[in-house]
Structure 1
Amino acid sequence: MKWSQALKDYQNYLHIERGLSQNSISSYLLDIKKLMKWLETNTIEESPEKITDKTIQEFIYQIAKEVNPRSQGRIISGLRGFFNYLIFEEYRKTNPLELIESPKIGRKLPDTLSESEIDAIIQQIDLSMPQGERNRALLETLYGCGLRVSEATNLKISDLFFEEGFIKVTGKGDKERFVPIANNTIKYISIYLKEIRVHQKINEKAKDTVFLNRRGNPLTRAMVFTIIKDLTEKAGIHKTVSPHTFRHSFATHLLENGADLRAIQQMLGHVSITTTEIYTHIDKSHLTKVMEQFHPRK
């Protein structure tokens, strides 16, 4: 089996059988491509079925010099999954990463913005421009509903249930969830839809998509990153701010104001409560207040 064929077969497996999103699939394939490039650079001719533990160890030793422990751990995990797939398909009997341990890394706390910083970023939007109303509605949705950037760019008009106070969100693995939406966010989306979007020439495939670019196509992830980066710089905020920062801030502010962790888990679409629990590490003072308020031996 050639590497190119193994890569293609694995891609189909991740898409059809695992039901992963294109972004997740691309990340998995990138790890394998790094190994393929290293083999080619070092003129090592070992097929996916025959590659040895020793060769993999040499590759891991090399990347350890080039990337941080977190990235190294992700690559090891990605390759381990690929070789487990080859075992599942009976191309191999053993996993060459079986005895390779991922580097120990601390749990990275997500970056957050304060409410005043979010307001400052949104205030930089030029509402005299047609895309201004769109950008305000977009940022209010990212923060007000805690969406991933792909969830926001894929949001459909048919997913908006404003009278019921919910929106339907399609998350990782095409899993759907209903997220409450505040009146404030409803107001800004409605302004954009009724005053700006309605006057656009929209491509047929984007008729049901909420957030569009000037050409009537869905906004791309890259464009959302650019919009937020530019507004953050104009606001004079010296933090690395991305669309995900708004999602982190949504969860953090809910927790700080007394929201139940299970409720936050459902709104974020986390499969495991462990993923949501990272937010409890952000503000220790909040936990202290909870203890003082609710423990019988306070």
Structure 2
Amino acid sequence: MREFAAWWDQHGGGELRDIEPFHIAAYVETLQLRLSAPSIKVHLAAVKMLFDWLVVGQVVAVNPAAVVRGPKHSVRQGSTPVLSKEDTRTLLDSIDVSTPIGLRDRALIALMTYTFARVGVVIKMQAEDVYEKNRRLWVCLHEKGGKLHDMPAHHSLEEYLHVYLSQTGMQEGFLFRSAVARTGQLTDKPMSQSDVYRMIRRRVVAAGIEGGRSRKTGCHSFRATGITEYLRNDGKLETAQKMANHESSRTTGLYDRRDDQVSLDEVEQIRI
């Protein structure tokens, strides 16, 4: 929005109510000179959301960006790197769980993998979001838009969470907490998304799996890995959509990388 405001000052100026749809369209055209289609769509969405807010607040009468269309962009598969089930197992088993940090990291990675949870949701979880129901452990995920999404814990995740909570004595506060540098002790503050990303990078490299060498594996990779493995084992796309809390099954399909393995198997048929 700062970029749009700077562009408006330079090319139009005046009040917000003076902005017309053709101004927004001209701004989108300038973005096409330096940004990809997905990035342009993000910029346009931000402008539309701002003017929606201004309309509700009666600052402007109409949203001039509502009729403006961004560049066409369609993808059938997401770009998020996916770890295989073997690499994911290697990663989890490689973590030293003799320390609170190791227990935390193993539980966090497992939670993202087995519940398809977004990292932004995971880092906001409280200890009380892990609870027992019908003799099984459940997790409550606070998703976008204030939605509460309850998921039963996979038996491996249940084990990791039980050990993590019992050995740290954690009963309240943030579930996944940052650590005091070099002390191995956890603070009362939550991990940030960048904290999680750096932790994953360290763990992946230390495990020596392929994702470490490519330097691409990140927080979202485990969401994609979980969805792919669920579908590979005859899971239903509609159920995966509910588990991932996606509005559309098309979004869930972007995380499905079963075809990657199919393609690899086919290539290996070229026996030279």
TM range (shorter): 0.7 to 0.9
Aligned residue in 2 for 1:203: none
Aligned residue in 1 for 2:50: 82
CA distance in 2, matches of 1:151, 1:245: 15
- Please say if residues 150 and 221 of structure 1, whose CA atoms lie closer than 8 Å, have aligned partners that are also in contact: yes
Aligned residue in 2 for 1:127: 97
Residue ranges of structure 1 left out of the alignment (5+ in a row):
1-31, 201-205, 288-298
Query: Any idea what the Cα deviations from partners look like across 1:204-229, whole Å, max 9, x if unmatched?
Result: xx933221222222222221111012
Q: Which residue, 5, 19, 24 being the options, matches 1:51? A: 19
- Please say if residues 178 and 267 of structure 1, whose CA atoms lie closer than 8 Å, have aligned partners that are also in contact: no
CA distance in 1, matches of 2:149, 2:234: 22
CA distance in 1, matches of 2:43, 2:49: 10
Q: How many residues align?
A: 247
Aligned residue in 2 for 1:225: 197
Would you say 1:262 and 2:231 are equivalent positions? no
Would you say 1:240 and 2:208 are equivalent positions? no
CA distance in 1, matches of 2:34, 2:139: 43
1:180 Cα deviation after fit: 1.8
- How is 1:1-298 mapped onto 2 (pairs within 5 angstroms)? 32-40=1-9, 42=10, 44-107=12-75, 108-109=77-78, 110-162=80-132, 163-195=135-167, 197-198=168-169, 207-214=172-179, 215-234=187-206, 235-236=208-209, 237=211, 238-279=214-255, 282-284=257-259
Asked which structure has the greater RCO (Cα within 8 Å, sep 6+), the reply is 2
1:86 Cα deviation after fit: 3.1
Higher strand share: 2
CA distance in 2, matches of 1:155, 1:93: 40
Q: In 2 relative to 1, CA 266–191 (structure 1 residues): closer, same or farther, beyond 3 Å? A: same
Equivalent AA in structure 1 for residue 89 of structure 2: D
Higher helix share: 1
Residue ranges of structure 2 left out of the alignment (5+ in a row):
180-186, 263-272
1:88 Cα deviation after fit: 4.2
Equivalent AA in structure 1 for residue 42 of structure 2: R
Equivalent AA in structure 2 for residue 102 of structure 1: G
Query: Any idea what the Cα deviations from partners look like across 1:147-193, whole Å, max 9, x if unmatched?
Result: 11122112222222342342221111110111121121111112122
CA distance in 2, matches of 1:191, 1:284: 36
- Please say if residues 28 and 70 of structure 2, whose CA atoms lie closer than 8 Å, have aligned partners that are also in contact: no
CA distance in 1, matches of 2:66, 2:118: 33
CA distance in 1, matches of 2:121, 2:63: 35
Match of 1:161, SS?
Answer: strand
CA distance in 2, matches of 1:279, 1:207: 33
CA distance in 2, matches of 1:219, 1:174: 20
Q: In 2 relative to 1, CA 231–37 (structure 1 residues): closer, same or farther, beyond 3 Å? A: farther
1:256 Cα deviation after fit: 0.8
Identity across matched positions, percent: 20
CA distance in 1, matches of 2:106, 2:255: 26
